Amino acid sequence: MKKILFIIVAGMVLTSCYPCKRLARKCPPQIIHETKDSIVIHDSIIYKDKEVPVYIPGDTVYSERPIPTTEKLNVPPMILENKYALARAWIENSKLKMQLEQKDQIIKFRIDSAIQIAKHWEYRWNNEKQTIVTPPEKYIPKIYKIAFFAVICEIILLGIYIYIKIRTGAWKSLINKFKGGV
């Protein structure tokens, strides 16, 4: 009976994890990885210039100054005009008169680097909503399955062996010592 118990314990030790780990190191399982597509994402920030419209309301400024002379002078108006303003200058009754009229307009003011687009985050926002992530399948080598099954069988056989010994009375005296509180 001692030989059977020794064989069961030796079998449990031989089928434990250490030989399996050594076997896995010496003969690793052959796993084939197939790569169908690869996506390369570059993080970059693009700076774009932007023109901001600025509204400038129209306004008129008028000014006059007397000219010190004894005679009355009259000069027809001189007019200067561009897309932003209209200027008039003339002499009337020995007075220099000036008028500056600013036109209503919208000026586009250019701001450098006003818009920054982060391409990486834009890509993630647009494309990752539809992506379904599936975890990889777990591969358990066949040797691990066999070793696990052998250990379970040995534990069951050891339990049956101990149960039979208790029923036949061989270990009854040992159990009674523990029950009695020694």
Write out pLDDT tens, residues 147-167: 999 999 999 999 998 888 777
Among 112, 130, 154, give the residue marking a domain's end. 112
CB-neighbour burial class of residue 92 (10 A; exposed 0-12, middle 13-18, buried 19+): middle
pLDDT digits (tens, 9 = 90+) for 65-98: 888 887 888 888 899 998 889 999 999 888 889 9
pTM (2 d.p.): 0.34
H or E element that contains 106: strand 105-118
Q: What's the structural domain count of the chain?
A: 2
Q: Domain range spanning residue 88?
A: 48-112
- The confidence band for 122, taking pLDDT boundaries of 50, 70 and 90, is low
